[in-house]
Amino acid sequence: MSSKINLFDLTLDSLTSLITGWGFEPYRARQVWRWLYQHHASDFSVMANLPQNLRESLDAETTPGALKVVSSVQSFDGETRKLALELADGQIIETVLMRYEGVRRTACVSTQAGCAMGCVFCATGQMGFARHLSPGEIVEQAMHVSRLLAQEQQRLSNIVLMGMGEPFHNYDNTLEAIRRMMDEEGLNIGQRHLTVSTVGIAPAIRRFADEQLQVRLAISLHAATNEARSALLPINRRYPLNDLMDAVRYYIRTTNRRVTFEWALIAGKNDTPEEAHRLGQLLQGLLCHVNMIPLNPTQAYQGQPSDMARVSAFVNILEDYNIPATVRVRRGIDVNAGCGQLKAALIASQ
Q: 75 and 14, same structural domain?
A: no
Q: 324 and 183, same structural domain?
A: yes
Q: 53 and 146, same structural domain?
A: no
Q: Has residue 331 got a pLDDT over 80?
A: no
Domain that holds residue 23: 5-63
Q: 330 and 243, same structural domain?
A: yes
Q: Are 326 and 290 in contact (CB under 8 A)?
A: yes
Q: 36 and 89, same structural domain?
A: no
Please, what is the angle between helix 27-37 and helix 12-21, to 10°? Answer: 130
Q: Name the pLDDT band for 336 (thresholds 50, 70, 90).
A: very low
Report pLDDT for 342: 38
Report pLDDT for 293: 87
Backbone angle region of 308, left / alpha / beta, with phi > 0 → left and psi within -120 to 50 → alpha: alpha
**Amino acid type, 174:** T
CATH number where 22 lies: 1.10.150.530
pLDDT in tens, 198-252: 999 999 999 999 999 999 999 999 999 999 999 999 999 999 999 999 999 999 9
DSSP label at residue 236: G
Positions annotated as catalytic residues are 94, 339
Distance CA 328, CA 293 (A): 5
**Can you give the pTM of this predicted structure?**
0.90
Q: 173 and 192, same structural domain?
A: yes
Report pLDDT for 3: 84
CA angle 19, 86, 218 (to 5 degrees): 90
Distance CA 275, CA 271 (A): 7
pLDDT in tens, 53-85: 999 999 999 999 999 999 999 988 888 999 999
Q: 73 and 160, same structural domain?
A: yes
Distance CA 275, CA 267 (A): 12
Question: Considering its fold, how many domains does the chain have in total?
Answer: 2
